[in-house]
Chain A
Amino acid sequence: MQRTERIVALALLAALLFNYPLLSLFARDGWVFGLPVLYVYLFSCWLLVLLLTGLVLRRRRHAGVPPRQGNGKDSGHV
């Protein structure tokens, strides 16, 4: 199921955003909107990640296909 793949991809992206070496790029002196750059980076990535999570997990409405339908094999992957 595509949702599983999206979840894994998003988790990998988030893990990269919140760790070395990307983190080190922002662990430096500098200011954005008068705030420390690391502080701004962490919180905006955080917001982005949780918004994407909500988007990925949103209930999808397929025209014509009832939500409960689908065989057991499919749901086994999620």
Chain B
Amino acid sequence: MSEWLLVITSFGYVGLLFAIAYSADKLGDTGRSLVNNPYVYTLSIAVYCTAWTFYGSVGRATETGVSFLTIYLGPTLMAILWWLILRRIIRISKLYRITSIADFIASRYGKSMALGGLATFIAVVGITPYIALQLKAVSDSFVVMLSFPDPEVATTPLRFWDDKAFWVAGLLAIFAILFGTRHIDATERLEGMVVAVAFESVIKLLAFLAAGFFVTFMLFDGPQALFEQAAEVDQIRDLMLLSSLPGGYVNWMTLTVLSMLAIVFLPRQWQVTVVENVNEDHLRTAAWLFPLYLLVINLFVLPIAFAGMIYFGEGTVNPDSFVLALPLAEGYDWLALFIYIGGFSAATGMVIVATIALAIMVSNDLVVPALLRMRGFQLSANADLSRFIVNLRRVIICLILLLGYGYYLLIADTYALVSIGLISFVAVAQFAPPILIGIFWKGASRKGAMAGLIAGFILWGYTLLLPSFVDAGLISRALLEHGPLGVGWLNPYGLFGLTDLDPITHAVFWSLFANVGLLVGVSLFARQSDIERIQGALFVDVFLRSERDTRFWEGTATVGDLQDLLGRFIGQERARQTFASYAEEHGIALSERDHARPELVGYAERLLSGSIGSASARVMVSSIIKGEALSFEGVMEILDATSRAIEYSRRLEQKSRELEKATDELRRANERLKELDHLKDEFVSMVSHELRTPLTSIRAFGEILLSNPELDAEQRKEFLQVVVKESERLTRLINQVLDLSKIESGAAEWHLETLDLNQVVHEAADATRQIFNDTRVDLQVHLPGEPMIIKGDHDRLIQLVINLLSNAAKFTDADDGRVDLMVKPVDNEWLELRVQDNGPGISDAEQRKIFDKFHQVSSQQAGKPKGSGLGLAICKLIMDAHWGDIRVESQPGEGATFICEFPTAGGEHCNLDPEEKS
């Protein structure tokens, strides 16, 4: 393939990245952020898959079979725990504006400059080989694309300007500078970088899948056929088991644990998962989607490795480049070019993020603190340092890439990709003890963390980094065979005679053993300073406290001094704006001469932390504060008072809610009572009224009789008849009132039995025969032949029918009046009783009210009311108690029909106690 095509494609791809990052930044500036999205977040975490995954896994698989998977199973295990561990770290980092691993460690252990510097140093030394690995992969893949199948070995060119790796490093430096140093405040998101990295994750996945499909389905006839063919080769057959795993299950477990730690503590992973996290909830998606990404990208590693071994045989082609060599050998140059771009994106994504993360660390936790220590530097007050710091980071980015390139020139050629990566993994694993123990144990102390980190780092350097120089030929091989100066127990691969383990397990064991041991051991005996205890409490209890209660400063500074200080690092204009918006938000006026309130000092310190790291920020703030920081007890008192106040107000709130509920219930009960009271008043006044009418007439006639003894017998008799009739009416009325109140109060005794409605109707008709005879109204009873069985109270039902019949008799004309009484079934479950008359009928308006108490139908024809107004109300109550219903159908002038519907006995409608109905 022509060199120019490759160069143009590579550079064109980086150009595309520039365009993507640029538009993402532009979109972010206008508020349409692309990164507030769990999928972009997940894809950016996939920066974990570097050239190591893309090329190295296949190479590794040809040597040790499935053991390459440990590097991806570890992150899967860790992803389960993210919700418990990473969420805590994210919350802490956001609250205290922590921007890197080094800053996190420094901040946790009392904002210690020394610890931050040490962590930064470890990160740079540890990650440099990893960056070199990516450059090597890009360079190797370039050579393969250029010269395959010529057996030209990738050699380092004599002049660096001929080396593509150098130019790639330069291009990436420009990218990192443009999109990684837009803001001085490192807590501001690098949206362009994140989106570009997410895009690269898509490309590398597609490219690797394309390679896998090509090899599995085009070169071979599907995975089964491929594995079957592979099983015929003894050497490959072994790779399908675990027998070819050096170090066996111990090595397997070590690599799993190592990659569990790497997914959290690699600086680039920290950058994308913690610093660039927009929303903690995105972890819910990432925790399963990221492992799925890893699973998919690893599906074809083994098939490609076996296919390469079958296809090329042993020793002719470097297994690390099988992914490219297979399509090239088959003449699929364009496919190979796409796969090459995938590998290129895997490498560049890692380099970009790692470089930016390291640059922030180096500037905030190494260079700025060192500069602040220099007296002269501090005195040049009022100088605008924000520009300086941004430029500083740019220089650091270049230096880091140069360092990576240098390591690549020096050593990378002698190592396989995975071995280099593992060296870095062990280095960053040293961050795990101070962070993991530090966020769960308040007692972890600065001295302990310091001792642990130093020891772990030294042991890592001695057992892994130093031997890599031996392999590169810089140090005599005798070191690894006989130990330094022939002292066998100091052998880097067999420290203290521990020679059973493979080099990685050996290094992991000793370094983490020393690290954890010293951290815990020293912490148990060292005294913590106030600031350490404060920070420890804040970190461990991060979920218990609110953001606003971090006040540590008791001394005084003026608002003007504070704003000037901030302005030196983030720009005067921005500092002024920040203070103005703070004042607005808190509803206070800030005047330059005022003493700054402790909250404002804390706020300014956090802002500074984002720009120059927590340790430097503390030093800078303390330089303008007159007085001193609060003691541990002082801070704790404030914090406890705050949490007590929060607790108290929460309880108060709960109480008031309960009170409100009770009040509500009371109010409702009161309303109901008022309503009942009103009804009772109405009832009493109606009853009194009804009673007064007959009483008045009785009294009037009584008085006439008394005062007129000369009345003739005929008239006397007539008057006495009126008195008797009115008395009867009075009695009836009182009986009905008593009945009604008995039924309503539920005190009426119901004797429910299964009975034949026909029988009841018959009895009632007989009882009212006299009335009908008197009024000469014709009563016709129509009963069906079969019994109508219902469940009910015999006497009440008779009362019901009598009420209806006497009502009908009352409202029909004598002589030509006619009343029809029928009983008939409606369906299986219901039957009805109808009382039909040919009286004047009932108007629509009246129909609605006739079942109300004391409602009397008044009509011209009827003249004065004929009933008590209680008869139908009682009927309604009786029907209610029988689970039935009563209604009236009528047209004025055409008579009225009262219809009672009963459920048949045994049906589902009449299983209740009648009392429950009321």
Which A residues have a C-beta under 8 Å from some C-beta of B?
A: 3-4, 7-8, 10-11, 14-15, 18-20, 23-24, 27-29, 31, 33-36, 38-39, 42-43, 46-47, 49-51, 53-54, 56-59, 71-73, 75-78
Contacts and interface: CB of A to CB of B under 8 A. Distances in A.
> Among the interface residues B80, B228, B231, B646, which one has the most CB atoms of the partner chain A within 10 A?
B80
Nearest to B65: A38
A59 B256 contact: no
26 contacts: A8-B84, A11-B77, A11-B80, A14-B76, A19-B253, A19-B256, A20-B252, A24-B242, A24-B249, A33-B224, A35-B223, A36-B231, A38-B242, A39-B227, A42-B73, A46-B73, A49-B77, A50-B291, A54-B289, A57-B284, A57-B287, A72-B544, A72-B646, A76-B541, A76-B543, A78-B83
A50 B295 contact: yes
B767 interface: no
Interface in B233-268: 240-243, 249, 252-253, 256
Nearest to B306: A36
Interface string B522-550: 00000000000000000001011100000
Contacts of A43: 295, 299
Contacts of B87: 78
Given A43-B299, A46-B295, A76-B541, A54 B224 contact: no
A27 B242 contact: yes
A78 B545 CA distance: 14
B173 interface: no
Contacts of A72: 543-545, 643, 646
Contacts of B650: 71
A47 B249 contact: no
A14 B281 CA distance: 23
Contact of B249 (A20, A59, A73): A20
Contacts of B84: 4, 7-8, 78
B66 interface: yes
A75 B292 contact: no
B648 interface: no
Given A23-B249, A42-B69, A57-B288, A14 B80 contact: yes
A58 B256 contact: no
A53 B80 contact: yes
B194 interface: no
Contact of A36 (B240, B252, B295, B646): B240
B288 A53 contact: yes
A54 to B, nearest CB: 3
B451 to A, nearest CB: 30
Nearest to A58: B284
Contacts of B223: 34-35
B252 A23 contact: yes
B284 A75 contact: no
A32 B292 CA distance: 22
Contacts of B541: 76
B740 interface: no
Contacts of B227: 31, 34-36, 39
A73 B544 contact: yes
B600 to A, nearest CB: 25
B280 to A, nearest CB: 11
Contacts of B371: none
B291 A75 contact: no
A18 B73 CA distance: 8
> Among the interface residues A3, A4, A47, A72, which one has the most CB atoms of the partner chain B within 10 A?
A72
Contacts of A50: 76, 79, 288, 291-292, 295
B427 interface: no
Given A49-B80, A57-B284, A39 B66 contact: yes
A28 B79 CA distance: 29
B287 A42 contact: no
Q: Please give me the 8 A-B residue pairs with the lowest Cβ-Cβ distance, nearest first.
A: A34-B224, A54-B288, A20-B249, A76-B543, A50-B291, A36-B240, A27-B242, A57-B284
B645 interface: no
A76 to B, nearest CB: 4
B102 interface: no
A57 B289 CA distance: 12
Contacts of A76: 541, 543-544
Given A35-B227, A49-B80, 6 more contacts: A4-B84, A11-B81, A14-B77, A39-B66, A46-B73, A57-B288
B283 interface: yes
A39 B240 contact: yes
B302 interface: yes
B256 A34 contact: no
Contact of A42 (B66, B79, B281, B288): B66
A39 to B, nearest CB: 6
A38 B508 CA distance: 27
Contacts of A28: 241
A76 B246 CA distance: 42
B241 A27 contact: yes
Nearest to B223: A35
A44 B241 CA distance: 17
A59 B287 CA distance: 13
Contacts of A4: 84
Nearest to B281: A59
A3 B76 CA distance: 18
Contacts of A42: 66, 69, 73
A51 B288 contact: yes
Contact of A34 (B76, B228, B544): B228
A44 B291 CA distance: 13
A67 B289 CA distance: 23
A20 B252 CA distance: 9
A29 B106 CA distance: 51
B295 to A, nearest CB: 5
A24 B249 CA distance: 9
A29 to B, nearest CB: 7
A19 B255 CA distance: 11
B288 A18 contact: no
Contacts of A29: 240-241
A10 B80 contact: yes
Contact of B284 (A24, A47, A59, A71): A59
A57 B66 CA distance: 29
Contacts of A24: 242, 249
B318 to A, nearest CB: 24
Contacts of A47: 295
A47 to B, nearest CB: 7
B237 to A, nearest CB: 8
A11 B287 CA distance: 12
Given A11-B81, A19-B252, A20-B249, A38 B241 contact: yes
Interface in B641-677: 643, 646, 650
Contacts of A53: 79-80, 287-288, 291
